[in-house]
Amino acid sequence: MKNIFFGFVIGATTLAACNDSNNKVAENKNDNRDTAQVKAQAGSSTATTATVAEVKGTTSIKEIVTTYLQLKNAFTKDNSNDAASAGTSLQTAFKNFDKIALTAPQEKLFEEVADDASEHAEHIGKNGGNIVHQREHFIMLSKDMADLIKTLGNGGQTLYKDFCPMANDGKGAIWISETKDIKNPYLGKAMPTCGTLKEEIK
């Protein structure tokens, strides 16, 4: 029993001693936090661009569009789990996108869209079972996709930009479809044909 007790006393003292030096490091960190934070930000943004530029991507706009359409079709069927797996695939497609052929302004737009759209795709991927939350992100993701297609093209297939006036709490929302017939991803089976065709993207 005595041994156990002494073990703890020694253990606690060591911990306290270790912690002392940790605190000092922490304090130093706090002092430099402002500069460190700025540096970290600058560092991380250059780091991402550097890695992406070095490694040749494997996906094209065609894969991104196809995966988005899978996601859209899962929503038209109210299938939250299929939407989740398509969301995760879409996140990967954005991550592995090959930017070699892009012009500078195209790349700038892609970076901005991908930064936002990947986060929506991630949320959709992680919220299988919560289709309400998934669809909130799908509204913003669809806007990103429309802007991306406008700049990078449709990936070789005719697409349609549709509008649902009832989605987004009555403020309306767009989506991209591969079929001329309306199949509403926001209302699903409840109102499958609600919506209007806004634009044909050839």
Partner 1 sequence: MSNLRKVILVVGLLFIAIQFIQPAHNKNEQALPTDFAKIYQLPANVERILQNACYDCHSNNTSYPWYSNIQPMASMMARHIKNGKEKLNFSDFGSNSPRKQISKLKEIANQIKDDEMPISSYKAMHKKANLTKEEKMLIMDWMNKTADNLSAEN
Write down the residue that tokens 């986060």 correspond to: 119
**Residues 180/197, Cβ–Cβ less than 8 Å:** yes
Minimum distance from residue 128 beta carbon to partner 1 (Å): 16
Span of 27-35, 73-81, 85-93, 192-200 interacting with partner 1 by CB under 8 A: 27-35
Work out which of 31, 36, 39, 41 binds partner 1, going by CB under 8 A: 41
**105 is a site residue for partner 1 (CB under 8 A):** no
**Residues 121/68, Cβ–Cβ less than 8 Å:** no
What angle do the packed helices 80-95 and 104-126 form, to 10 degrees? 150
**Residues 174/160, Cβ–Cβ less than 8 Å:** no
Span of 64-72, 115-123, 174-182, 189-197 interacting with partner 1 by CB under 8 A: 115-123
| Closest to partner 1 by CB, 107 or 119 | 119
Q: Does an H or E element contain 73, and which?
A: helix 61-76
Minimum distance from residue 140 beta carbon to partner 1 (Å): 5
**31 is a site residue for partner 1 (CB under 8 A):** no
Distance CA 169, CA 162 (A): 17
Work out which of 6, 8, 24, 197 binds partner 1, going by CB under 8 A: 8
**Residues 125/85, Cβ–Cβ less than 8 Å:** yes
Minimum distance from residue 8 beta carbon to partner 1 (Å): 4
Work out which of 6, 24, 29, 48 binds partner 1, going by CB under 8 A: 29
How many of the chain's residues bind partner 1 (CB under 8 A)?
28
Single-letter code of the amino acid located at 190: A
**144 is a site residue for partner 1 (CB under 8 A):** yes
Sign of CA dihedral 178, 182, 183, 185: positive
> Residue 39: CA atoms inside 13 Å, Cβ hemisphere, count?
5
Q: Give contact residues for partner 1 (rule: CB under 8 A).
A: 1, 4-5, 8, 11-12, 15-16, 19, 23, 26, 29-30, 33-34, 41, 112-113, 115-116, 119-120, 132-133, 136-137, 140, 144
